[in-house]
Structure 1
Amino acid sequence: MSTDVFQRNPINQPRPLVGHNAVRGDAGLVAAVRAQAGDHADALLDSLDELGLEAGSAETREHGMLANEHPPALRPVDRFGTRIDEVEFHPSWHHMMSRGIAHGLGATPWVSDEPLPHLRRAAGYIAWTPLEPGHGCPITMTYASVPALRSDDALAKEWTDLLASTSYDFGLREPHTKRGLLAGMGMTEKQGGSDVRTNVTRADRQDDGSYRLTGHKWFTSAPMNDLFLVLAQAPDGLSCFVVPRICPDGTRNPVHIVRLKEKLGNRSNASSELEFHGAYAQRLGDEGNGVRTILEMVAATRLDCVLGSAALMRRAVAEASWHVSQRAAFGATLIDQPAMTNVIADLALESEAATHLALRLARAVEQPHDEHEMALRRMALPLAKFWVCKRTPTVTVEAMECLGGNGYAEESGMPLLVRESPLNSIWEGSGNVNALDLLRVLAKSPDAVEAWRREMACVAGEYEVLDRAVDSALSDLQAASSDLVTAQGRARSLTARLAVLLQASLLVQHSTGEVADAFVASRVAGEWDGVYGTLPASADVRSIARRALPA
């Protein structure tokens, strides 16, 4: 027992979680990469070594904290009163952006000739972004813009290479003079939200083939990005447009930033309300096909919502397991006390299941011409977006509790994760939107249901309870398909069940036996009381908890 009554050199306080490789030191992430990368796994992990070491450094941790402590500031006019509509960011924001783009987390995979570039990016995104989640938003939108731009060969050729650059070049300048570009999107309006068909922003066709936009957007993040994909009403219906901040003649496009949103979390990221006052735009895709065109971008941003939520889980569980492995109370290290061992193991199960599902979806992006992979993506993306993003707040809050009062203090970094955790469930379609998207898939893509069934068939016969659950889910899918209206009331339940079963299939195939057994028993068989730390006695909680420790 220490005799230092003031504990100015305290004992029994964990060291900060720094000085490790955030990729290779994460057993669950490495397992998920190996599961999807196959023979390319070693090379892929080698390519992430620099990112992993940087993500695990004290410097990056500090930059992430500072970017959130110093939120962006709107500068609508300069000191002479000239309209400039700019946002200023703290230097730590620029550091995180510069390094994230340099590590290839933007649109780089779309032009890469390396094997599995989307999977590599996904693993890197999970390791990098939870240090400072806000900057993940412009990085995500930049990545997601390219598949939508490909609906017009000329526009794709004009913008893709600069969007795929690994150079971060901040500031409003003529885009083709910059070393790299960032993209954003503007869909929702005050009166409609997710119902974008009610949009009132007008697009007037010009004699030179361009358009001028007049109207507003209610929620547009990263307004300092170089170009935006925007929905507006053209003469022939709702259409998609490319709107640059700087016009081809070098003048500033009349895109006015009304204000920046005050948000629960994601504080480092500037989320704005915009007005277009005759803003120059180029049409992307045919008039009247705006939703179909921009959905390619939405699908990619939804994938990053899943990746980002899995990232928050992994970071939260890493912090919790690290803390309890070094903190003692009541005569034993916390991680070795049965109640805490069960909590950490339970959190680790949730996190690893999310990680495997996220990387499975990223793997599907690698094969755009494979019918099974594309059908699975149509089915599994709304499942994962709904379920993984819903589970994230529960994980981050429980993980914060593992640190006790230390975790409730801002300096621990845990409140940042907790505030961020609900966001991905809201952005790019809330829970109901994604659950109802599942019903749309049932109506339009029966091959997607077959793709899900084939994935589950990979583990047929491994667990009787899992086989029964799959049969029950397939029966419910058939019933839902026959009455889609009535099924709307059950859509969330069905979506959650299908997601959990797909997670179980991936863990049974690719994780350890201890993880698979505990997940099937708790999440499928129901040997679980719905709160973390209630895994059944059959679960090898000690092995699972120890596996969650950062190495």
Structure 2
Amino acid sequence: MSSLADRPASTTHAVTNQSTPLEGHNVFESDRALVEALEREGGGWARERAQEVGAYAGSQTAIRLGFEANENPPRLRSHDRFGHRIDEVDFHPSYHELLAAAVGFGLHALPWRESSRPGAQVARAAMFASFSQAEAGVGCPISMTASVIPALRAQPELAADWEPLFTSLAYDGRAVPAGEKPGALCGMAMTEKQGGSDVRANTTVAVPLGASGPGEEYELTGHKWFCSAPMCDAFLVLAQTEAGLSCFLMPRFRPDGERNAIHLQRLKDKLGNRSNASSEIELRGAWARLVGEEGRGVPTIIEMVNHTRLDCVIGSAAAMRIGVSQAIHHAGRRAAFGRLLIDQPLMENVLADLAIESEATSVAMMRLARAYDEAAAGDPQAAELKRLATPVLKYWTCKRAPSHAAESLECLGGNGYVEESGIPRLYRESPLNGIWEGSGNVQCLDALRAMARSPASLEAFRAELGEAGGGDRRLDAAIAALDTELSDPVEIERRARRVIELMAVTLQGSLLVRFGDPAVADAFCASRLGDDGGR
């Protein structure tokens, strides 16, 4: 009888019927709906820039950096080894590299650097949606920095000092005063333990250090329950003055170069978005300057909030595109029961449904971005459409993202449940945009508030739907059903989710009927507006 040592070496198995990594492709150029929307909505002049971003986001390098940044989350260093308070957050070099790339592409500043060109928000939306497919964690400081400019302009002298830094294409991650850096990033800190989205319940107090009023110096004492991206160079913060809730710009360093009294208590241990830091902070006499009038904090900061809500829609569109791309890539290379998955009718239906949802979200995202461009150019109807469509689309697209991610994961089977696929990271990330800048109920109530306070916003929204009138009988019927829902004010708050969902899907349907592939529009109307319910 031969021993094991005498037996010839042999492999236990050969690796066959496995997919390949989805990398080395241009995530922008491969997205036909996004390419068409960039041209249609007025951002065609930025196509080469979008191609550059798309090539980077789909590269092996960017994908590797995204994995590394999430596998090595940030760490808080509250004190140095001698006991001095430093309140610094250490990030993995991969996070810094990704953030530097995003800043270099101008994703935090393009609408303000290119404000003379129509379609700047549209161009940024296409580029940001493409970049986010490499890694979403850097999107937080990028989004807040891009969104702070309209709010900051309420105080021109502060804008004059900070806007050049916030729109610079140079990234500097050092913890030094902003004046010593070629560029800066901005965050915000609004919510507190006792109130959450109800910011009027905030208890942080602001006391003037001398004269009070716009642009003056104040001292802030209190806490913030969520302060995302605490390594930013400055933050918009809400605090109570004698006149009520007010908005302040609070830098990390005081004018004398000393660290501001912003004490990081801990970093949140989050479900997803793990490459980025979110913190709890205490303000122990932190130096800040008032932005706008005392007591007008919410109207001042809401300009920043609205732009970050647009970015939540962009983030959801990016997440859906990741999911459907990974699912189709896998199904085209994996066989079962004698056929490729992509050739099997039931899987074909699933993939088609994922693609329809993704395309509907992308076209709505780009149309919303155009409304921001047109509103900034002085179009009153666009301003009304933007006011209502923002919470409507923020609610629905963010609500759809987690189920879309789960279905995409299932297409990969067990391989999709493994961290190396990247889909678990997508799945954990997917609920975030639905929570950030107001959860689903907050968005629904905001949409109802917009219609009640400004009937012109509903008129603008309804006019947008009407552009597709007669294009599809199911869409026409859904719009009629929406009119019926909106005509009945009785207990509309209880029905708000149903109403806002119907507003969102009719808007998506209207856009697809007008601008989408006829087969996509037909499938959307059949599954979302007909009787099939997407199944």
Give the match for residue 354 of structure 1: 361
Is the aligned partner of 1:509 residue 2:514?
yes
2:250 to 243, 247, 252: 243
Give the match for residue 44 of structure 1: 46
| Alpha-carbon distance in 2 for matches of 1:100, 1:508 | 34
Give the match for residue 410 of structure 2: 401
SS at match of 2:476: helix
| Alpha-carbon distance in 1 for matches of 2:181, 2:309 | 28
Asked if the contact 2:41–2:119 (Cα under 8 Å) also holds between the matched residues in 1, the reply is no
| Alpha-carbon distance in 2 for matches of 1:334, 1:183 | 46
Deviation at 1:11, TM superposition (A): 2.0
| Alpha-carbon distance in 2 for matches of 1:518, 1:5 | 48
Give the match for residue 426 of structure 1: 435
One-letter identity of the residue aligned with 1:185: M
| Alpha-carbon distance in 2 for matches of 1:126, 1:307 | 6
Asked if the contact 2:220–2:283 (Cα under 8 Å) also holds between the matched residues in 1, the reply is yes
Q: What TM-score comes out, normalization by structure 2 length?
A: 0.95
- Give CA-to-partner distance per residue, 1:42-92, whole Å, 9 cap, x none: x32222221111111111000000100000000000111100000000011
One-letter identity of the residue aligned with 1:219: F
- Give CA-to-partner distance per residue, 1:283-322, whole Å, 9 cap, x none: 0010000011111111011010110011000011101111
Give the match for residue 21 of structure 2: 16
Q: How is 1:436-447 mapped onto 2 (pairs within 5 angstroms)?
A: 436-447=445-456
Deviation at 1:239, TM superposition (A): 0.2
Shift of the 526–32 alpha-carbon distance from structure 1 to 2, 3 Å rule, reads: farther
| Alpha-carbon distance in 2 for matches of 1:101, 1:508 | 36
One-letter identity of the residue aligned with 2:300: T
Shift of the 5–28 alpha-carbon distance from structure 1 to 2, 3 Å rule, reads: farther
One-letter identity of the residue aligned with 1:135: V
| Alpha-carbon distance in 2 for matches of 1:469, 1:28 | 24
Deviation at 1:31, TM superposition (A): 2.5
Is the aligned partner of 1:7 residue 2:13?
yes
Give the match for residue 389 of structure 2: 380
Is the aligned partner of 1:282 residue 2:256?
no
| Alpha-carbon distance in 2 for matches of 1:48, 1:470 | 35
Asked if the contact 1:74–1:85 (Cα under 8 Å) also holds between the matched residues in 2, the reply is yes
Give the match for residue 525 of structure 1: 530
Is the aligned partner of 1:100 residue 2:105?
no
Superposed structure 1 runs of 4+ greater than 6 Å apart = none
Deviation at 1:527, TM superposition (A): 2.3
What is the percent sequence identity of the aligned residues? 50
2:502 to 478, 497, 503: 497
| Alpha-carbon distance in 2 for matches of 1:20, 1:81 | 49
| Alpha-carbon distance in 2 for matches of 1:422, 1:332 | 34
Question: Structure 2, unaligned stretches of length 5 or more?
Answer: 1-9
- Give CA-to-partner distance per residue, 1:363-404, whole Å, 9 cap, x none: 111122111111111111111010000000011010011111
Please say which of residues 15-24 and 86-95 is displaced more in the overlay.
15-24
Q: How is 1:303-342 mapped onto 2 (pairs within 5 angstroms)?
A: 303-342=310-349
- Give CA-to-partner distance per residue, 1:348-373, whole Å, 9 cap, x none: 00111111111111111112211111
Please say which of residues 205-214 and 77-86 is displaced more in the overlay.
205-214
| Alpha-carbon distance in 1 for matches of 2:343, 2:103 | 40
Question: Structure 1, unaligned stretches of length 5 or more?
Answer: 535-551
SS at match of 1:134: coil
SS at match of 2:161: helix
| Alpha-carbon distance in 1 for matches of 2:391, 2:118 | 26
Shift of the 328–450 alpha-carbon distance from structure 1 to 2, 3 Å rule, reads: same
One-letter identity of the residue aligned with 2:147: A
SS at match of 2:24: coil
Give the match for residue 482 of structure 2: 473
Give the match for residue 237 of structure 2: 230
Give the match for residue 37 of structure 2: 32
